[in-house]
Amino acid sequence: MSKVEVALSIRANLGECPRWDEKEQVLYWVDINACQLHRLDPKTGRDEYLQFDEEIGCFALREKGGFILAMRNGYFTLDGWNTNRMFICDPEEGLDKNRFNDGRCDAMGRLWAGSVYPPKDHGGASIYSLTGEGVATKWIDNLLTANGIAFSLDNRALYYADTPSHAIQVCDFDIEQGEVSNCRVFHQFPHGEGRPDGAAVDSEGYYWTALYEGQRVVRLNPKGEIVQEIAVPARCPTMVAFGDEDLKTLYITSVGNRSEEELQKFPESGSVFKVRVDVAGTTENRFVG
């Protein structure tokens, strides 16, 4: 097993949503609370970012170039790096305590993104799909923190986690119609050992998730059984992405906004980590709009 290394030493407040661009051979990622979209070139170590005036929960690359952003106040597009942001829609308009959180595109180019409801006094968060025509549809609700959205290789299953529940769910997925149904528990983690956060599926169809406050990432087979665990030198890893030319480097974002005691124990918290793995990932789908 390869050793987990630091790909970028940085104290990100809430590092999230690493996304490999196979065309540019760079890693994009966000610092949600700092309202930043970052671009890391692993070969040079250079990291640069765009600064926004609201949180960016997740994003995806677009087929025509640029980005689709899911932010506090809805969906936006960028035609390229450091271009003007264009508003699409806000399916949670009026829900002032919510913001978008985790998401990714399906094989038809729709963006699936979920929100987070920080008060957590009821299930105020949801998961939506967004078509290339700009139509947003709610599919799953009554959540606290939507995370871990990913798809099976045959496009017949959608995975997600409601992080505070410590559970990953799997739903039947109709790729042609873009519909989800029959959601049930894929894996239930015990309380107190880390909560499932962001995720990715590898080229064998196995689901990888970062365990927030669990100091590790885990790989689960299609039956929902843990088959591999990798310790991370941060208590709060947040999400994984497969990168580099062979898609066999697993990049891991993390949280740096932690207690001084924890930061003394894990001084690289907030960094982007990397580790070589045996099974490659898959190329991320791009947004069609």
Catalytic residues: 197
Characterize the bridge pairing of strands 207-212 and 74-78.
unpaired
**Which residue from 144, 137, 175 is spatially nearest to 160, judged by alpha carbons?**
144
- Residue 164 per-residue DSSP state: G
**Cα three-residue angle 208-214-217, rounded to 5 degrees:** 20
**Which residue from 18, 71, 58, 60 is spatially nearest to 40, judged by alpha carbons?**
18
Q: What is the spatial distance between Cα 89 and Cα 155, in angstroms, rounded to a whole number?
A: 26
Q: Over 119-161, what HEC string results?
A: CCCCCCEEEEEECCCCCEEEEEEEECEEEEEEECCCCCEEEEE
- Residue 244 per-residue DSSP state: S
Tell me, rounded to whole angstroms, the distance of Cα 183 from its chain centroid: 20
What are the tokens at 164?
């505070």
**Is residue 150 within 8 Å of 207, Cβ to Cβ?**
yes
In the chain, which residue ranges form alpha helices assigned H by DSSP? 260-265
